[in-house]
Structure 1
Amino acid sequence: MTLSCVNQLHQRLPGSPQFQFLKDGHALGLGWDNSSQYQVAAVWREDVGYYWCEVWIEHRVIKSKRMWIDMHRVPVRNVSLETQPAGGHVAEGQTLVLACLVSGGTGDINFLWYRGALGVKLETKTQRSLSAKFEIPAVRESDANQYYCSADNGYGPRLSGLVSVTVTVPVSRPVLTLRAPGAPALVGDTVELHCEAQTGSPPILYRFYHDGVTLGNSSAPSGGGVSFNLSLTAEHSGNYSCEADNGVGAQRSEVVPFSVTAPREDRAELTTAVVVEGLFGLLGLLTAVLLICCWCKRKMGQPSARDSVR
């Protein structure tokens, strides 16, 4: 409701006039103001009474005529239910707020909240406002359902539409398992890396790591675990881990150490190569020693210049 203090002569008032609105002799709002209008946000039954305005101009006060304003109760209308977080998507453990709103209605309004299409009553609040809130402090997976509310100010309840609420369960810490064809794992083998979180709403994205470097990722649209195959080389020895993430929060597995062993033939070839290399080294050393000995003998066998003179 808007109250306006109007100059009936439609003449511009001189100076800087100040306005004040009164009801039954009591000033409304903060009293004197330079606005010629006063807004009543919500009208209630006790707002019935005599209203008038006053103008302070050129050191004098001009009063308007008193006007009787009556109120008629208005039924509630346009009942709606809103969720916080918006959209009805909430993570397990978070707070869910169900706000019941009406666009109009007077007097005390009785708000009720219901769960499910069959209407299990959750809460009742009576207050003089156009909205009321009901909170579920720590949402559980079982709270995923449809909700609606009703509002009634004596003219019969008005219902909101159904609003769906989905609850996302965070993933638990995944477990990484490495499955090799045999023990020990050999170069050339294919090892299976299996990562699985026991709880968590799908879809779940899994990532695999070797010494902190990403190997790859795979998604589980319906939940459960996933596997990643790896063809082994000697460089694949190290620490492995995996990560599970469903958008609520990522969880990393414990680190699993893994070693890769070279096959026997590879080790034999390596041993032969080492032996041959050692033999070549020894042969080179012996050759050098023989050359030094020959040089020394030749040196000792040559007569000196003094001996030649004699």
Structure 2
Amino acid sequence: MLLGLMLLMCAPPFELTALRLMARPSRPVEGSSLTLTCSSTPAPSRQLDVPLEFCFFRDGRALWPGWSRSPELLLPTVWREDSGSYWCEGNTMASKVTRSLRVQIQVQRVPVCNVSLETQPPGGQVQKGERLALVCQAAQGTGDITFFWYKGALGLSLQTKTQRSLAAKFEIPAVSDGDSDRYYCAADNGHGPSLSELVSVTVRIPVSRPVLTIRAPGAQAEEGDVLELRCEAPRGSPPILYRFYHKNVTLGRSSAPSGGGVSFNLSLTAEHSGNYSCEADNGLGARRSEAVPLRVTVLTEDRKELLASGILEGLLGVLGPTILALCCYGLKRRLVSPWRRNTVRNPSPADQPPGRRPPGSPRRSPPSPVPSVSSYVNSPAPPQGQSVYGNVNVVSGEEVYSLVYRTQQDRPPPVPPPRTRVQDQDASATYFRLKKANLTDEDYEDAM
């Protein structure tokens, strides 16, 4: 033991010739770890049990825990403000302090990206008076992140919050009707803001107490009437489901997808007297209306007969004049039609354009020549009482028209009769209707 002590005292002192600082990784990212290693050159002899001490510094300040025997220092999480100039120092019990060269370390910041906005409760459906939370979250990003919340498409600023995390929350303690809108958020850590998508928030309002209205055709509800039950809740977010009750027995149900009221029709019988009510429900709680009493009047046999006779009299009062008018009109047509058929004639050949035959006239042979006696018409001394047939025309159907010229012989009338120019002759034209079904040229010649 004495020999060892003498050898230690006689041995030359150990001196550190140089120190070198190394950082892993050399370009750390915010939020990651950093390892610093201080190595000596040449390495200390392992035979000499001489303890060494190391200390790490940044920008002139010793890092925790100060001097230690470990040549490594682990920094679990580094941020942008941890960037700076690093070095290390080492010494022995018998040597002076030796310092390493400075190493510049820059901590890298990751920009925020993929920002999203979520609602609590999820889905954006919240009941009036409840709490609403808007959570803004970034998928990536380091350092201090500033979060912004906006309302509406125009971007009404609601709140700003800065914290070292990827998510932040904005709360509305009790929502009201005016909080129904679209929301979005933004996040920024110095590299520019990143925006989320628009998220719709709907504030749902529970239904108020509905009002039941009963409408009957007359002043009193009678058996056989069709009764209308209308139920409407003054307030409430759609859709609203309505149910109708008679003595707490469900009559039916109807939905109002856009809100408002609904109607239910009921054909009354004697059993429908009693209390009626309705219920409104939009998923936030059902509310029932007040009970409305109804008394159905049952018709007796006398009243039924009176009602039936009244209905019959009403129908006769409305339909009687119409039926009478139709009968008179039909009788008139039956009386007038034969007279029209016997009096209406087809146009004469004189009324038709030259060279045309009246429409509908059957074909006939050319008329026989007018007898020679017709040459005495309007002569100075014609035979007395002689009548001359000037033309015969067979018209369609059973009507035959004849043109007769009658001469005036002995005594001229005291006043000259009206004269008509017919081929420079005075004539009096007379038409006769001859009831002959089929008249041929042979019959005409026999008549002559």
- What TM-score do you get using the length of structure 1 for normalisation? 0.64
2:192 alignment counterpart:
156
The correspondence for 2:134, drawn from 98, 107, 110, is 98
Q: In 1, Cα distance between the equivalents of 2:163 and 2:302?
A: 84
Give deviations 1:84-107, integer Å, cap 9, x for gaps: 111212222222111001122222
Aligned residue among 244, 247, 250 for 2:286:
250
How far residue 69 of structure 1 moved from its aligned partner, in angstroms, is 8.8
Does the 8 Å CA contact 2:210/2:232 hold for their aligned counterparts? Answer: yes
RMSD over aligned Cα, in angstroms?
A: 3.2
Q: Residue 265 of structure 1 aligns with which residue?
A: 301
Q: Offset at 1:147?
A: 0.9
Q: CA deviation at 1:196?
A: 0.5
Structure 1 residue 120 corresponds to structure 2 residue 164: no
| CA distance in 2: counterparts of 1:124 and 1:221, whole angstroms | 39
Q: Which residue of 2 aligns with 1:198?
A: 234
Letter in 2 for 1:177: T
Separation of aligned partners in 2, 1:222 and 1:132: 36
CA–CA distance in structure 2, aligned partners of residues 48 and 173 of structure 1: 66
Where does residue 109 of structure 2 map in the other structure? 73
For 2:116, give the aligned amino acid: S
Quick one: which of 211, 214, 217 aligns to 1:175?
211
Could you list the structure 1 runs, at least 4 aligned residues long, displaced by more than 3 angstroms after superposition. Answer: 23-26, 42-50, 68-71, 266-269
| 1:70 Cα offset (Å) | 6.6
Task: Tell me whether 1:226 sits opposite 2:262 in the alignment.
Answer: yes
Instruction: Write out aligned runs for 1:1-310 (5 A).
Output: 24-25=64-65, 44-45=79-80, 71-265=107-301
Residues in 2 aligned to 1:260 and 1:185: alpha-carbon distance in whole angstroms: 5
Asked if structure 1 preserves the Cα contact closer than 8 Å seen for 2:32 and 2:78, the reply is no
Residue deviations 1:50-101, cap 9 Å, x none? Answer: 9xxxxxxxxxxxxxxxxx9973222222211111111212222222111001
Q: Give 3-state SS (helix, strand or coil) of 1:235's partner.
A: helix
Deviation of the 1:253 alpha carbon: 0.7
- State whether residues 151 and 158 of structure 1, in contact with CA within 8 Å, keep that contact through their aligned partners in structure 2: yes
Per-residue deviation at 1:268? 9.8
Tell me which amino acid in the other structure corresponds to 2:299.
Answer: P
User: Residue 228 of structure 2 aligns to a residue in which SS?
Assistant: strand
Cα 1:144–1:265 shift into 2, 3 Å = same
Task: Tell me the CA shift for residue 267 of structure 1.
Answer: 8.5
- Counterpart-to-counterpart distance in 2, 1:199 and 1:162: 28
Structure-1 separation of matches of 2:122 and 2:205: 18
Pair 1:250–1:69, CA change in 2 (3 A): farther
- Residues in 1 aligned to 2:294 and 2:79: alpha-carbon distance in whole angstroms: 75
Deviation at 1:266, TM superposition (A): 7.2
Confirm or deny: 8 A CA contact 1:43 1:106 kept in the other structure.
no
SS in 2 for 1:247: coil
Aligned partner of 1:18 in structure 2 is none
Quote the Cα distance in structure 2 between the aligned partners of 1:238 and 1:209.
10
- Report if aligned partners of 2:214, 2:228 keep a CA contact under 8 Å in 1: yes
Amino acid at match of 1:174: P
Seq. identity, %: 69
CA distance 1:43–1:90, change in 2 (3 Å): farther
Q: Considering only CA atoms, is the larger Rg found in Structure 1 or Structure 2?
A: 2
**Paired AA for residue 118 in structure 1:** L
For 1:107, give the aligned amino acid.
G
Partners in 1 of 2:112 and 2:164 — Cα distance?
A: 12
Deviation string, structure 1 residues 216-272 (Cα, Å, up to 9, x no partner)? 011112211111111111111111110111222211111112121211437899xxx
Letter in 2 for 1:124: T
Alignment: residue pair count: 223
**Structure 1: 5+ residue stretches without partners:** 4-22, 27-37, 51-67, 270-310
C-alpha deviation, 1:2, in angstroms: 7.7
- The 3-state SS of whatever aligns with 1:188 is coil
Higher relative contact order (CA 8 A, sep 6+): 1
